[in-house]
Amino acid sequence: MDANLLYWRNQGQSFVSRLEIWVNLLNPTSLLSSDAEIQKAHASLGSGEKSKKDSSALDLSLASVHADSGNVLPLVFRPPAFLPISAPLVVASFLPHSNIKPALFWQFLLQSYTAGFNYANRNSSSEKQDKQTHLKQLLLFTGTVSYATCAGALPQILINRFGIRSAPVQTFCRSILPIPLSAALAFFSVFAIRSEESETGIRVFDSNGNPVGISKAAGKKAVKETALSRAALFGVTGAFPNLLVLLLHRTRFFKINSLLVAPLRHISVAFILGLMIPVSFSLYPQLGTITKETLEEDLQAAAGDGHLFYHRGL
């Protein structure tokens, strides 16, 4: 078991502890570290016991190294880069566009980045590195981004296609429909990009950290948990600012100063996204557990204490 996973097993089994860890890991200054510094930090992780002396090195390793391969993650797909890159894309995707092209453009950028982030932070413990697999992943990535882009721009497409001028219907399309839609697309992106984990399975470990086999049940559980956490992230990010705007429109101050509503909404989208990222990352353990009864028959004997561990991915 990788040193990062050993640390998550020792320190990250409760929601509060995971939330505290992720708040530290999402520090964007870690993006300035070189690959050599990151590899050195990963090597020093050791048994997973965190002390004040090596706190920064541990955070750097956990935030920058893939727990399956031990390789340094691409800069733009490291967890600390998620907020700086995705925030402007999310804000722009929620804008009330005047026509379809800008809506498709911003949705394409957002869906491409989130799909890339999902792929880079997947569980890759059982993947085969061959041309056929790479081609399948490329087609799956392209199809997922294309579908999510068109679906994400659906509210604007409906307004333009049917020439909707009714204020209540426009409000529904621009303020209400994007909330469940963004949550559903976030779930879909994780589920589609990481579908191979459900099909081929992922590596599972015993209580001593030794790999005992490949489990499809663990793969399905890992993908489902991550997809639900991502749906919560984008669903809440879309819901809260819209609710805030509806409440502000009823106040006298914002009725007089209506131009202040739009910038306040954009700021609130970025703010809620920043708050929700560590929360969504913490909803489920990075090193999850799967019970003996849920496992395949050939792996149940290895679950001596009633469960096995698996790397959930992010």
Q: pLDDT digit string (tens) for 166-198?
A: 888 888 888 889 999 999 999 999 999 999 999
> Is residue 113 in a domain?
yes
Q: How many domains does the chain have?
A: 1
Q: Residue 102 is which amino acid?
A: P
What's the confidence (pLDDT) of residue 308? 92
Confidence of residue 229 (pLDDT cuts 50, 70, 90): very high
Q: Which domain holds residue 232?
A: 79-311
Compute the average pLDDT of residues 35-59: 72
Dist CA 107 CA 268 (whole Å)? 19
Stated pTM of the model: 0.92
Compute the average pLDDT of residues 63-87: 93
Compute the average pLDDT of residues 40-55: 64
Confidence of residue 48 (pLDDT cuts 50, 70, 90): very low
> Is residue 46 in a domain?
no
DSSP SS3 for 214: strand
- Whether the CB-CB separation of 165 and 119 falls below 8 Å is answered with no
- Whether the CB-CB separation of 187 and 233 falls below 8 Å is answered with no
> Is residue 291 in a domain?
yes
Burial 202-241, CB ≥16 within 10 A → b, else e: bbbbbeeeeebbbbbbbbbbbbbbbbbbbbbbbbbbbbbb
- pLDDT at 114 exceeding the cut of 60: yes
- The full length of the chain comes to 314
DSSP SS3 for 313: coil
Order of all β-strands in the sheet with 211-215: 211-215, 202-205, 307-311, 287-291
Task: Please count the other Cβ atoms lying within 10 Å of the Cβ belonging to residue 272.
Answer: 19
- pLDDT at 47 exceeding the cut of 60: no
Identify which of 310, 311, 276 has the alpha carbon closest to the alpha carbon of residue 296.
310
Of 174 and 273, more confident: 273
Percent of the chain with pLDDT over 70: 96
> Is residue 103 in a domain?
yes
> Is residue 254 in a domain?
yes
- Whether the CB-CB separation of 67 and 286 falls below 8 Å is answered with yes
- pLDDT at 268 exceeding the cut of 50: yes
Identify which of 5, 100, 113, 10 has the alpha carbon closest to the alpha carbon of residue 61.
5
Compute the average pLDDT of residues 113-141: 86
- Which residue is associated with the tokens 């559903």? 184
Percent of the chain with pLDDT over 90: 53
Confidence of residue 129 (pLDDT cuts 50, 70, 90): low
What's the confidence (pLDDT) of residue 49? 47
Q: Measure CA of the first residue to CA of the last residue in the chain; give whole Å.
A: 17
Task: Please count the other Cβ atoms lying within 10 Å of the Cβ belonging to residue 164.
Answer: 15
- Whether the CB-CB separation of 213 and 204 falls below 8 Å is answered with yes
Compute the average pLDDT of residues 150-162: 92
| Segment holding 118, helix H or strand E | helix 100-120
> Is residue 49 in a domain?
no
> Is residue 71 in a domain?
no
* Per-state percent for the chain, helix, strand, coil, to nearest 5: 70, 5, 25
- Whether the CB-CB separation of 288 and 198 falls below 8 Å is answered with no
Compute the average pLDDT of residues 273-300: 92
> Is residue 59 in a domain?
no
Q: Which of 52-56, 190-194, 257-261 has the lowest mean pLDDT?
A: 52-56
Q: Which of 125-134, 241-250, 285-294 has the lowest mean pLDDT?
A: 125-134
What's the confidence (pLDDT) of residue 175? 84
